[in-house]
Amino acid sequence: MLVQEAPIVWNSLKGLICVYKPAEVSVHKMRKILISKICQEMNSLEGRPPSDYVAIEGDPSQKLTVSVRPNFADHPLVVGPRYQNQDLHVSWSNFLGFYTNGVLLFGIRDGTRQAKFIRENRPTRAYRIKGKLGEVTDNCFKTGKVVMKSTWRHVKQEHMDRFLSAMQASHQKKMFEMCGVDIQSQTAYELAIQGPIRPANSKIPIIYGIKCIEFQPPEFTVEIQCINEYEDYLTHIIHEIGQKLHSTAHCTGIQCIRHSRFTLEHALLMKHWTLTNLLKNMDVCSKILVESGENLPRKSSRLV
């Protein structure tokens, strides 16, 4: 059971939360909904009583009377509810596109610092991307207009696997090449043991792992571990896969299944956004944060 005093709850309401973002709801909208839900519930709790108004009245030439009465200027009906939407700072640590669903991290109040650290530490994210062979759309996603059709029955799973592993290898090789080190050298080894090699620029997407986990033609699902990716990049990967397999493909769904160590099981559905659930989720998230060491800024191996 939650404490009924709003200021106590407000003081404990700082940290990181992990929520589930459905497709076709923007991150901005989610943030707005989260803020208004929290404020609404905070205002329904017992707020701070209005401050006292000290009135000094009477004739100044005679004796003045001092009286204390409730201050109307501090009444919630006049100055507005005690907790207002603009007072609550919320920021996200990973941006998901409009059509992407999955794990989303929000920093609330002091948690915005942690959200920033996670963003700047650039942990890997895992995506599950669904594609469909045989059709190309103008934006490479299912919402677009179909611009081309092709045959797909000749595409087999081994073709797909072969191409995907080649793609993964080329991405990893490229990272070492761009570092300027020979992959057979000691420096390359020392670079590799520091963890995944991250590009210096946070705008360059890099894939660390890609594999096909489901293949039921024409539909297939690909799982990707990557950093610095964005929605268009992921949809275009599916498009590229289709082309390289001598067919065509478009993306039908993108789901972020892991961000750093936060997975779908930690994610809170929008209908469960109540103060009690959010505070519980905050506890869980802070434990994961300490375990993973993401709560501190980290020096990562990167291109020099």
Partner 1 sequence: MLKRIIHFSTLKISKTLCTSSQLSNSLENRTNDLTPSTLEPTEPESKSVLEPLNEDISHVTTYLKPTYNIAAYANRSETIQEFIKLGVDLNHIERKVSNAVPFILRLHFEEVKKHLLFFTNVGINIDDVAHLITKNPFILKESLEDLDVRINYLKFKRFTDESIARIITKNPFWLSYSTQDIDTKLGFFQATFELSGPQVRQIADQAPRLITHNQEKVKLNVFVLKEEMGFSKYDIQNIILKKPKILMSEQKKLLKTFEYLHKVIGLSHQQILECPQILTCRENRLKERHQFLVKMKRDQFNPKEPNFVNVITMVSGTDSEFSTEVAKSSVEEYNLFLKTL
Token code pair at residue 165: 């592993």
297 contacts partner 1 (rule: CB under 8 A): no
Question: Quick check: helix, strand or coil at residue 44?
Answer: helix
277 contacts partner 1 (rule: CB under 8 A): no
The residue from 80, 195, 293, 297 that contacts partner 1 (CB under 8 A) is: 80
Contacts of 255 (CB under 8 A, 6+ apart): 100, 101, 102, 127, 128, 129
Nearest distance, CB of residue 258 and partner 1, angstroms? 13
In 3-state terms the chain splits into helix, strand, coil percentages (rounded to 5) of 35, 30, 35
Tell me if the bond preceding 50 is cis, omega within 30° of 0.
Answer: no
The residue from 4, 40, 65, 72 that contacts partner 1 (CB under 8 A) is: 72
Closest CA to 143 of 22, 24, 21: 24
Binding residues with partner 1: total (CB under 8 A): 26
28 contacts partner 1 (rule: CB under 8 A): no
Q: Which residues is 132 bridged to in the sheet?
A: 219, 250
Amino acid identity of 204?
Answer: I
Nearer to partner 1, 23 or 303 (CB): 23
The residue from 28, 29, 48, 75 that contacts partner 1 (CB under 8 A) is: 75
Nearest distance, CB of residue 72 and partner 1, angstroms? 4
Nearer to partner 1, 54 or 166 (CB): 54
The residue from 255, 260, 281, 295 that contacts partner 1 (CB under 8 A) is: 255
DSSP 197: P
Between CA 8 and CA 5 the distance in angstroms is 6
Nearest distance, CB of residue 267 and partner 1, angstroms? 7
The residue from 1, 60, 86, 184 that contacts partner 1 (CB under 8 A) is: 60
284 contacts partner 1 (rule: CB under 8 A): no
Please give the residues from 97 up to 126 whose contact with partner 1 meets the rule CB under 8 A.
101
The residue from 167, 204, 264, 284 that contacts partner 1 (CB under 8 A) is: 264
Burial 255-279 (b: 16+ CB within 10 A, else e): bbbbbbebbeebbbeeeebebeebe
Residue numbers of the site for partner 1 (CB under 8 A)? Answer: 20, 22-24, 53, 55, 59-61, 71-81, 101, 255, 264, 267, 269, 271
